[in-house]
Amino acid sequence: MLRRLLGFRFRNKTAPTLSAAVRCLSSGSVDITVPLNFWAGRRRSSQESREKENVYEPATGRVLCHLEPCGGEEVDQAVKAAKSAFGPWSKMSGMERARIMIEAAHLIEVRREEIAEMEVVNNGKSITEARLDVDSARLCIEYYAGLASTLAGQHVQLPGGSFAYTRREPLGVCVGIGAWNYPFQIAAWKSAPALACGNSMVFKPSPVTPVTAVLLAEIYAKAGVPEGLFNVVQGGQETGSLLCYHPDVNKVSFTGSVPTGQKIMEMASKGVKPVTLELGGKSPLIIFKDSDLENAVKGALMANFLSQGQVCSNGTRVYVQKDVLAEFVEEVVKRTQAIAIGDPLLESTRMGALVSRPHLDKVLSFVEQAKKEGATVLCGGERFVPSDPKLKSGYYMTPCVLSDCTDDMTCVRDEIFGPVMSVLSFETEQEVLQRANNTTMGLAAGVFTRSVSERYQENRRRILKAGSCFINNYNITPVEVPFGGFKMSGIGRENGQVTVEFYSQLKTVFVEMGDVDSLF
């Protein structure tokens, strides 16, 4: 089943049985040969003569497959398919849509392991994390299936027996543009609320991680959505621009960097199209002296080293009150050095490979710049070569903890997007809150303290300027809770009930029960 659905072949001469393929997928064993574009109900090859792009397996550095970017003709076909499917889907009741979405969630649950394995092969994160990402995708679809039948408006009584009411209506064809750090999860996070509200979608994954979004398209199709409801087009900047400018696209939702988000917002503005932008962050994590230090250390590790540090909400500016700085740093360094790095498909691995060679080089250059600016490397920050020969060309590095950092250093100001923790000290609460908010971004923030009620009251007056604030935990993202940023970290929200508002439009209807009162 895995070979048929994913279209890969094993590199060794004797392929294992089908059941063994599911159990024994290993790094360096997979070639993907089937098309990764999908519209109007099936996978599609590019019809235009375009140069194919290499897609790499981060764990080994070898070529995994070749990407066929979509041009204008393919984008137009995908959008037309989505527009065609929008009609029947938008006319279904919420309960009808919910039944199909629940079936899609069930199929994801059944195929959890194979999806997670392919996510690892294409992205480089550990299999343990990939399983959780697949679970999050499933839960998101289940959650919005539950909301699909609750979409309702408001009734307003007017004088003379007349009345008005509002109703939520779908937007039409929505575009989702994903990032490479959570390929399958982001595809679900964007499509689930869109579909629940009655929209259709064309989704463009990152060209670095194109493999698993098409699996979601096949799952939706098998679950029974109208042909063309969820489509996948591959490509980079050109393909994204074609989608944003397309006259039949009614909304764009993007996850990625601030500069790209700004360009997408500008392109969408030409058609006055609503956008959801989930952009970068440089989030603060504040450790007060009264915190439970064991939990604070674990929180700091979760805030910096999930997915090899490639998480937009990471709390990479770790402010520690001077009274506990030495103890905190000692324990953080000890546990960071103990993180198991290596083959991401092994159960024992806790840190896999970064997503690409250029990105690895960029992250390592941040460490070098930090040293030049006066930061001290307490551990890590170096290229790592696993003992397994087939992994020698993979994109690995040792997780890094920097001390003696100051607010004006590049490592503290700029988003590194890698396993690099910058530790800073502070003395007073007023001081640290001011420093924590001194950034153009505001995706997340965290606080560790035992004085929860006291700090909560304080935060009501001197609020941390971030879209998601964690108290005594970090980087938890239940799908029932909205996720998004303040300032340059984005516009709109993903997950939670409020996201329905970003995938629908409000219509007001007036009903006159008497005669028209005219001035003419």
pLDDT score recorded for residue 29: 86
pLDDT score recorded for residue 478: 97
Among 278, 368, 382, 431, the active-site one is: 278
Of the candidates 382, 477, 423, 398, the one whose C-alpha atom is nearest the C-alpha of residue 129 is: 477
Alpha-carbon torsion, ordered 373, 378, 379, 383, to 10 deg = 20
pLDDT digits (tens, 9 = 90+) for 439-483: 999 999 999 999 877 656 565 446 899 999 999 999 999 999 999
Q: Which amino acid, residue 475?
A: N
- Return the exposure string of 26-44: e unless at least 16 CB atoms fall within 10 Å of the residue's CB, then b: bbbbbebeebbbbbbbeeb
Secondary structure E strands in 162-261: 163-170, 173-177, 200-204, 230-232, 251-255
The whole-angstrom separation of Cα 137 and Cα 114 is 14
Question: SS3 letters for 35-54?
Answer: CCEEECCEEECCCCCCCCEE
Of the candidates 415, 390, 388, 398, the one whose C-alpha atom is nearest the C-alpha of residue 352 is: 398
Q: Is 331 a catalytic residue?
A: no
- Return the exposure string of 223-236: e unless at least 16 CB atoms fall within 10 Å of the residue's CB, then b: bebbebbbbbbbbe
Q: Other CB atoms closer than 10 Å to residue 433's CB: what's the count?
A: 22
Contacts of 258 (CB under 8 A, 6+ apart): 279, 280, 441, 488, 489
* Beta strands across the sheet bearing 317-321: 376-379, 400-403, 420-426, 317-321, 284-287, 444-448, 468-471
pLDDT score recorded for residue 49: 76
pLDDT score recorded for residue 2: 37
Contacts of 403 (CB under 8 A, 6+ apart): 329, 375, 376, 378, 423
Of the candidates 206, 223, 272, the one whose C-alpha atom is nearest the C-alpha of residue 58 is: 206
CA distances from 183 to 190, 251, 302 (A): 11, 20, 20
pLDDT score recorded for residue 12: 42
Q: Which domains does the chain have, with CATH numbers?
A: 37-279 (3.40.605.10), 284-479 (3.40.309.10)
Q: Other CB atoms closer than 10 Å to residue 163's CB: what's the count?
A: 15
Question: Which residues of the chain are under the pLDDT cut of 70?
Answer: 1-24, 454-462
For the record, the structure tokens of 302 come out as 């979760």
Q: What is the Cα Rg of the chain in Å?
A: 24
